[in-house]
Amino acid sequence: MKTNENKIFILIMIVAMAAWGASWVNAKILSSYINEYELIFFRNIFTIITLTPILIFIKKDFKINLRSFLLVILASIFMIGYLKYYFLGTKFGTASLGGAFVTTLIPINTFIIMAIFFKKKTSKKDFFALSLGVIGVLTMIDIWNFRIEEIFAIENQYFLYASILWAMLTITSSKITNISPLVFTLYIYIITTIIVMIFFLDISAIEYSKFDNIFWFNILSLALVSTTFATSVYFIGIERLGAKEVSTFIFLVPFFAIIFSIIFLDEALNYSIIIGTVLTIIAVAILNNVIYLKKYY
């Protein structure tokens, strides 16, 4: 019975990874309706509304100590930066490149930051993995064509910034104590929304009249499916299967992003992205037993 339950949950995990991959397509479509701060606002509002009842249902403790609350504020700043560049990169670039580039580069950046600033020990195996990861990333942006204007295209810069900011968010989140990661994530969404509403967004200026069924389908999909559902499944998976086992499912995200981009956005099948993604995933798999990966969407 336990084995069958695990098999069903693994299938649910795969669906959750597909939802994360689809979020890049959602963002691309939404970029024609709203700006980056409006995206953060709508995504977070619907996520807060749907995630809170789930946490109550599974009886999570909402208490938070001062240290963790200060980490929430810092993580919220990183979250705003990540979502901004995630959105802008997808708007000016392609969803397939974003889903592959950012998802695979995050754990590599996390490892590098930990090694430089937190004196994480590295081995020859780690340096090999990082070198392989660099080759994979360079292959994704098609550096081998030697077109400088394409290599340093603004969308590539945005995706790079996004991957660095999420790595910082990952490290910050790993420092929390005495609080559920899901509850910590909820507080991030709340504080992020408050900061955006105070400093970056005039709600009365939002043009609600231009929001059609396509907009509402994609924003609700981004919030309810890609964020509330996928995030909840991921953290429940950590409790049921273990962090290391669950983190391997993240390798499916870039491929789902590529597949959905081809199906729904008519993006061309880019072999450099696929080859680069495979190389980078191999690199991340090698590093995976060295660093602790934590992911929030």
Give me the pLDDT at residue 90, please: 95
- Tens of pLDDT, residues 16-33: 999 999 999 999 999 999
Q: Which of 196, 210, 271 is nearest to 37 (CA)?
A: 196
Residue 14, pLDDT > 70, answer yes
The alpha helices in 118-199, defined as continuous H runs, are 124-140, 148-151, 154-173, 181-199
Give me the pLDDT at residue 153, please: 83
Residue 288, pLDDT > 70, answer no
What tokens were used for 281?
């995933």
The residue ranges of every structural domain in the chain are 2-287
CB proximity list for 164: less than 8 A, separation 6 or greater = 109, 113
Are the C-beta atoms of residues 237 and 278 closer than 8 Å to each other?
no
- Tens of pLDDT, residues 177-235: 888 888 999 999 999 999 999 999 999 999 999 999 999 999 999 999 999 999 888 88
Question: pLDDT > 70: what percent of the chain?
Answer: 89
pTM of the entire structure? 0.85
With tokens 């090694």, the residue in question is 115
Are the C-beta atoms of residues 276 and 140 closer than 8 Å to each other?
yes
Residue 134, pLDDT > 90, answer no
- Tens of pLDDT, residues 240-264: 766 556 666 777 888 899 999 999 9
CB proximity list for 296: less than 8 A, separation 6 or greater = 79, 169, 173, 181, 185, 188, 231
